[in-house]
Structure 1
Amino acid sequence: MTEKNPVLSPRSLTGKTALVTGSSRGIGADTVRYLADAGANVVINFRNKAPRAEKLAAQLRESGSEVLVAGADLTVVADIADMLSAVEQEFGGLDILVLNASGGMESGMAEDYALALNRDAQVNVLRAALPLLRPGARVVFVTSHQAHFIRTTPTMREYEPVARSKRAGEDALREFIPELESKGIGFVVVSGDMIEGTITATLLERVNPGAIASRRESAGRLYNVSEFAAEVARAAVDPVPGDNTRLVGDTSSFAGE
C-alpha cells in the first residue's frame, strides 16, 4: 500500500466504485485500502462495529478517496436493500463487488447461522446488486482452500460446518455465471489457505491449539492478511481465469475437485 510498490496501478480505478462486504477489519479492510489506493470510490460494509468502520473511512478520506460507510447485517434482506440503495444514491452503480463477509464460528449464534451467512446472504447480496453492476464489472467471492476443496479433502472437525457452508455459497454463486457473463460481468472465486491474523484462524487456534503452526509447517508458509487481501484486490482487475478460480498459496495438500 505504498506509492513505491502499489498492489494495483495508481489511478487505474479512478471513476470506479467498489463495495467490499465485511470490510471494517482484516482482509476486507485491506482490500478496501488497495482499491482506494488505485482511485476507486469505496463502500465499507460492517455489521456491528461502526466506530472501526468510520475510523477506516476517515483514513481513506484523508488520502482523497470517496468513501461510503454502510452498516448492514447481510443475513437480513432489508439491510441489504438499504445498503445498496445508499450505494446507488451515492455513486449510481457498482463496478466491483467483493463478497468477503463470512463467519460461523462465533459464539451465541443460531445453529444455522453459518449457512445463512456463507450461502444465503452471499446469494441475496449478489441478486440484489445485479441491477447496480455496470457492464465490465467484476464480482469476487472470497473463500478458503479448506472450504473450496471440502468435497475431496477433509478439514478440521471444528471448521467443517463453516467449510461446507462456504462451499455451498460458492456453488450457489457459480450458478450466476451465465447470467453475469451475458451482462459482461466477470466472476472470480479467490481461495486461500489459512490466513495468519484472521479471526477465523484465531478461533481455530483457540479450539484446536497448534492448528495454525501445523498447517504452516505443512504448507511451507501461510499468507498474512495484507498479502491475501492484495490477491483479492488483483482478482478484481486481472483477467478472469478460465475456471473462474484464483488459488492463492500451496494446494498440494488438497485433492482436486
Structure 2
Amino acid sequence: MSQSSDKVAIITGSSRGIGADVAQRLARDGFRVVVNFVGNAAPAQEIVSKIEAAGGKAIAVKADVANPVAVASMFDAAEAAFGGIDVVINCAGIMKLAKIAEVDDQTFDQIIAINLKGTFNPCREAAKRLRDGGRIVNFSSSVIGVRLPTYGVYIATKAAVEGLTQVLAQEMRGRGISVNAVAPGPVATELFLHGKSQDLIDHMAKLNPLERLGRTEDIARVIAFLVGPEGGWINGQTIRANGGMC
C-alpha cells in the first residue's frame, strides 16, 4: 500500500465505466474506496470484490446522487466504515441527446437532476464533511468546446459543473482542500457508445490528433494524479483530458 493507505475516497457512479476504473486505480494507490451505485448492486459488488482480491478495502453503497438525503446517508456509511472522508469524485452522469427544440421537460429535468444536482449534492456534503487537506474532483466534458448539435442540455450541465468547481475551490480557502474538474473527450464507455453508429464512433475517434477514443484508464490516471500527493498545487482548474481534441 502507498502513503494514501489511510485516505478514504467516495466515487459516485463507480459501478461501471470511468468510475469503476477510477475506484480500482485509487484502491491500488492505497485509498479505501466507497463504490457508489444507484440501480443494480451486482456490478458495484463485483468492483468491490476485485478491489478486495487485490488487497484493497472497499464497500458498495447505494445512493441516488440527485437525492440529498441519500447522498448524506452515503457519507454517513463511508464515515461509519472507514472513520472519515478525504476525497470525493463525482463520476455519476447521464447523456441523453436531442435538439433543444425537441427536449421534453422530463428529459431536461432528469439530465439536470443527475449531472448538475447530482454533482452539487456531493459537493455540498463534501464541503462540510471532508477532512482538511482533502480533494474534490468533478466531471465536465470536452464536448463543451465542440458545440455539437443535440448536446445542448448535456453541455449546459457540464458548463454549470465547471462554474461550481471554480467557486467551491475559492470557498475551501483555509482548509487545504483542492477542487478541480476533469473534462474527458470521447471515451469508449457504454455511456458514449450507446446509440451511435460505427461511422460516427470512428469520426469522433479521429477528432483528436492521437486518433483514438479515450480509454477509461486514461482518465483514471488523471484523477489519480489530482488526488495524489503530486497534484496538490492544482486547484480550481478544469483538466481537458481529450488527446488534443480541442
Aligned residue for 1:19? 10
SS for the counterpart of 2:196 is: helix
Indicate if the aligned counterparts of 1:123 and 1:173 stay in contact, CA closer than 8 A. Answer: no
SS for the counterpart of 2:186 is: coil
Q: Report the structure, 1 or 2, having the larger helix content.
A: 2
Select the residue among 213, 218, 221 that pairs with 2:207. 218
**Cα-to-partner distance string for 1:144-178 (whole Å, 9 max, x where unaligned):** 1013x3xxx412x2322111112112212322111
1:12 CA drift (Å): 2.9
1:72 corresponds to 2:63: yes
SS for the counterpart of 2:140 is: strand
Indicate if the aligned counterparts of 1:188 and 1:244 stay in contact, CA closer than 8 A. Answer: yes
> Matched residues in 1 for 2:10 and 2:108: separation?
28
1:62 corresponds to 2:47: no
Aligned residue for 1:51? 42
Whichever residue aligns with residue 27 of structure 1, its letter is: I
Aligned residue for 2:172? 180
> Matched residues in 2 for 1:133 and 1:82: separation?
14
Indicate if the aligned counterparts of 1:216 and 1:222 stay in contact, CA closer than 8 A. Answer: yes
Q: Report the structure, 1 or 2, having the larger strand content.
A: 1
Indicate if the aligned counterparts of 1:23 and 1:44 stay in contact, CA closer than 8 A. Answer: yes
- Give the TM-score normalised by structure 2: 0.87
CA RMSD of aligned residues (A): 2.2
Query: After superposition, where does 1:140-155 map in structure 2 within 5 Å?
Result: 140-147=137-144, 149=145, 153-155=146-148
Indicate if the aligned counterparts of 1:19 and 1:98 stay in contact, CA closer than 8 A. Answer: yes
**Cα-to-partner distance string for 1:36-87 (whole Å, 9 max, x where unaligned):** 0011110000010201111111121122222121100111111111111111
1:137 corresponds to 2:134: yes
SS for the counterpart of 2:47 is: helix
**Cα-to-partner distance string for 1:153-209 (whole Å, 9 max, x where unaligned):** 412x2322111112112212322111213321011111121112x123213515xx5
Change (3 A) 1:249 1:240: farther
SS for the counterpart of 2:207 is: helix
> Matched residues in 2 for 1:217 and 1:70: separation?
38
- Give the TM-score normalised by structure 1: 0.84
> Matched residues in 2 for 1:204 and 1:194: separation?
14
Select the residue among 97, 119, 122 that pairs with 2:88. 97
Change (3 A) 1:159 1:98: same
SS for the counterpart of 1:51 is: helix
Aligned residue for 1:171? 163
1:228 corresponds to 2:225: no
1:235 CA drift (Å): 1.9
Whichever residue aligns with residue 173 of structure 2, its letter is: E
- Unaligned regions of 5+ residues in structure 2, if any? 99-103
> Matched residues in 1 for 2:184 and 2:23: separation?
18
> Matched residues in 2 for 1:227 and 1:140: separation?
15
Change (3 A) 1:243 1:44: closer
Indicate if the aligned counterparts of 1:105 and 1:200 stay in contact, CA closer than 8 A. Answer: no
> Matched residues in 2 for 1:242 and 1:116: separation?
26
